[in-house]
Structure 1
């Protein structure tokens, strides 16, 4: 029986992540990364059958184009080029235009570029990746999967900002939300694990990584999420501040800060890094805590408190709760962070299953706590956004 592989591409401004995914199983056949595009150290690496290979990317042409061109040769060399049936592109922002995965045309690519005001660091890069892939793989159907699409089911009361309606109608300022493919995937997997119909199941999905967000999911649909107009809103993250009094921005500008300095601080020098004064990596925070570092301890407490506070508040949009789902690099692996979040949820009746919490790490799913009061569980499910992109691309074939 022939395979159905999908080449998944995630194009950044100076990078290109890629994977060849078996659309039936979700298994990675090939994974790779191009990075430092535009710089002398531009390079591309990939893993196949457990072996890693790295090469330099050289040439005056677009390094995205060069890297994707090398991908063509690589798939032929490794012998599965004929099994690739589609290419799926991760696109960060679909605005209100794109509510689901779409097949890419020139008009779709132009629309993605037109939405660049909403995601100036991501959408232009996504369009570059699309154009390079269309040129390199002209015979393959290609699809765009949007981070924001899953959240387009939010009701108006959830996505509307308490600002002048003109700012929404004129500039599109509203809550969009991100990490949609991750929240979509883990909610479907949770329903399977609990033997529930996704159309009748409700979850609070907690994606914790260097970027972090919470999503309330009612009957399989997103009804609220913590990230907003941009990914800066919501939870404290690795280097992002999360929710902040906007008056702080005016205050700093009056102190002589430029807008670039303000948003550089909020996006790149806040979160774990800013509070601890040490690192943006959760593992580094936990290691420093063990050594008695007060800044790391405070960062840990602020982060876990804010996550728990969002989980508690997201009981409001739900009529019932089947599970709280932890996912993402931190959510899947950090036992101390999950434990502290659960400690903060005792008023909701959650009691940790210590053995279950210790076991559900490093790629393993499992139930880590139960609440008899809510008839709900807390669980860990490793996310697989690439599998979602592969599946939805094949479905549209």
Structure 2
């Protein structure tokens, strides 16, 4: 089955035609400021790409938030787009572009079956102890306040790929995935199932990111609004768009922050220290949630292409049995993958190229085959 995979993000739309053997035959990327490509651009691109491919059998859409309702891939029919759109309050940056992408491809490819694949769905296997906040019952039951987790498609791929790279079956394997990019999260995966993750009710929680703060004392928000007089909307915007590396170093791009730090910029050096400190602590927490560690998998733009950061993170996690071989580790850039551990390290460290597109294509094939 040939699948058109559409990943509609908050600033771009990525389209991939994935063949039955998982090769990507055709691709296109569109700029989408504020989640919206130019009027008609997506429909035209979809039509052209499908024509070049000689047609497609199905379409797969990445959707960030499935809430408590969507816990697996779902065929897009009837009122599914409307139900997805109702979750925009939980992911206001990502849900509208996803729904717009669904409607655009439905118009461009009438009659072609489609399915939605949710980033939150992989974390539906987390135990109650991991997903439950210690807050009043009404907040949890009526308002749905819980830890959902995100980047599930990436964590699914990286944990499975990590098992392959170390030559071990996924069953029983304890993998911690560090998916590190502009958005970043870590996940504890045992036997291929998520048991904990660093993001929570929203993608703001957890690690330090490009413009997101990561974990923050919740009382700091009420203090900022009630005592410092900062409007709630301004605080909300700052935590997602004006925090993280941008707030610490003046630049959201880790490549620029690393270059500035190497040139002696004190603010950049501090930003890197904060980023590394938070990564070490939360990766260790994920190892604890997994009951130990067999494999640490780095993925994402930073995870795959910043060997100095990998080294600094792993150096602080030696007590988990991790040790990098620097000569091997520096070879894994520009999409290369592999085990970068020393030969005698009890726990392995691998670099995995993120491939959410293949997970989506496989989920689409599976859900349509079950109909």
- 3-state SS of paired residue (1:310): helix
- 3-state SS of paired residue (2:66): coil
Cα separation, partners in 2 of 1:94 and 1:73, compared to 1, 3 Å? closer
Cα shift at 1:12: 4.3
Which residue in the other structure is 2:48 paired with? 74
Q: Using the alignment, how far apart are the partners of 1:293 and 1:273 within structure 2?
A: 14
- 3-state SS of paired residue (1:29): strand
1:94-151 deviation per Cα after TM superposition (whole angstroms, max 9, x unaligned): 0111111111112222221222221222223322221221122112110100000000
Which moved further from structure 2: 28-37 or 163-172? 28-37
Find out whether 1:267 has 2:240 as its counterpart: yes
Cα shift at 1:15: 4.7
Q: Using the alignment, how far apart are the partners of 1:369 and 1:243 within structure 2?
A: 30
Find out whether 1:228 has 2:225 as its counterpart: no
Which residue in the other structure is 1:322 paired with? 294
1:286 is aligned, of 245, 254, 258, to: 258
Cα separation, partners in 2 of 1:347 and 1:14, compared to 1, 3 Å? closer
Q: Using the alignment, how far apart are the partners of 1:336 and 1:75 within structure 2?
A: 39
Q: Using the alignment, how far apart are the partners of 1:15 and 1:194 within structure 2?
A: 34
TM-score (norm 2): 0.94
TM-score (norm 1): 0.88
2:78 is aligned, of 106, 119, 140, to: 106
Q: Using the alignment, how far apart are the partners of 1:72 and 1:281 within structure 2?
A: 30
1:183-213 deviation per Cα after TM superposition (whole angstroms, max 9, x unaligned): 0001111111222222221100000000000
- RMSD (Å), alpha carbons: 1.9
Which residue in the other structure is 1:53 paired with? none
Which residue in the other structure is 1:10 paired with? 7
Cα separation, partners in 2 of 1:13 and 1:300, compared to 1, 3 Å? closer
Q: Using the alignment, how far apart are the partners of 2:27 and 2:46 within structure 1?
A: 13
Which moved further from structure 2: 236-245 or 338-347? 338-347
Find out whether 1:384 has 2:339 as its counterpart: no
Cα separation, partners in 2 of 1:239 and 1:365, compared to 1, 3 Å? same
Which moved further from structure 2: 155-164 or 10-19? 10-19
The answer as to whether partners of 1:352 and 1:368 remain within 8 angstroms in 2 is yes
Which residue in the other structure is 2:24 paired with? 27
Alignment of 1:185-334 (within 5 A): 185-253=157-225, 254-276=227-249, 278-334=250-306
Cα shift at 1:229: 0.2
Cα shift at 1:68: 3.2
Cα shift at 1:268: 1.1
Q: Number of paired residues?
A: 367
The answer as to whether partners of 1:34 and 1:67 remain within 8 angstroms in 2 is no
Which residue in the other structure is 1:363 paired with? 335
Which residue in the other structure is 1:48 paired with? none
The answer as to whether partners of 2:17 and 2:26 remain within 8 angstroms in 1 is yes
